[in-house]
């Protein structure tokens, strides 16, 4: 490992600590655990198909029992309900209650302090950072360290550098449109897995 690698890991760890702290502070205010907050936010922004209990456990890299405990707590607080998956009654999916939707809306502002700081950086610099972080996520996914990565770089519709001399060098075959670095998605609802590592 190089000195630069060590510095990158230290910087990522410090940012992870900031995110954990912001989530924890929001949890204290809302009387929810960080995983309960993440679950509410996830349910508010994903289709029913991706809201099955097993999918959530995989998404957050938790055991099904731990995920089930978090869901039980959300149900007890009236924020979410379990319901049978329409295609298979043995499978349980989750949906937010009206109270849960209101709570998720409040919680969606948990990262405002970070957003305020990001606003001071040039768009080009943020796009380069996004590109690097997506390559890192893709590498961690290929190594089996991350189990879910619905990013452009792991999608069968992604065509890296299809337009090499363009400000939008990549291409999405599903949307049939060029993509700039800043257009790449971190959590795409139409994602279908197929790894395309970037050079």
pLDDT in tens, 88-147: 777 788 999 999 999 999 888 888 999 999 999 999 999 999 999 999 999 999 898 988
The pLDDT score that the predictor gives to residue 197 is 52
In the predicted model, what is the mean pLDDT of residues 1-15? 93
Please give the DSSP secondary-structure letter assigned to residue 167: S
Q: What is the pTM of this model?
A: 0.78
Measured over the CA atoms of residue 43, residue 46, residue 55 and residue 81, the dihedral's sign is positive
pLDDT in tens, 47-62: 887 888 888 888 888 8
Residue 185 tokens read as 């998605």
Instruction: Band the pLDDT of 184: cuts 50, 70, 90.
Output: very high
DSSP letter string, 31-93: T--HHHHHHHHHHHHS-GGG-BHHHHHHHTT--HHHHHHHHHHHHHTTSEEEEEETTEEEEEE
Rounded Cα–Cα distance for residues 147 and 54 (Å): 13
H helices, E strands: number in the chain: 7, 5
Domains of the chain plus CATH, in order, are 3-114 (1.10.10.10), 121-183 (no CATH)
Please give the DSSP secondary-structure letter assigned to residue 193: B
């Amino acid at each position: 490992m190089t000195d630069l690698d060590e510095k990158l890991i230290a910087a990522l760890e410090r940012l992870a600590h900031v995110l954990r702290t912001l989530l924890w502070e929001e949890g204290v205010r809302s009387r929810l655990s960080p995983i309960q907050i993440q679950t509410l936010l996830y349910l508010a922004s994903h289709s029913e198909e991706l809201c099955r209990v097993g999918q959530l456990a995989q998404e957050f890299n938790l055991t099904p029992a731990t995920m089930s405990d978090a869901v039980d707590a959300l149900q007890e607080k009236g924020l979410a309900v379990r319901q049978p998956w329409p295609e298979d009654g043995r499978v349980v999916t989750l949906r937010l209650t009206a109270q849960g939707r209101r709570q998720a809306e409040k919680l969606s502002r948990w990262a405002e302090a970070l957003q305020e700081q990001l606003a001071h950086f040039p768009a080009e610099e943020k796009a380069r950072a996004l590109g690097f972080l997506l390559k890192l996520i893709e590498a961690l996914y290929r190594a089996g360290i991350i189990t879910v990565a619905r990013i452009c770089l792991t999608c069968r519709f992604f065509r890296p550098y299809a337009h090499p001399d363009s400000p939008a060098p990549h291409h999405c075959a599903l949307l049939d449109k060029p993509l700039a670095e800043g257009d790449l998605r971190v959590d795409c609802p139409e994602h279908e897995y197929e790894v395309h590592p970037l050079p």
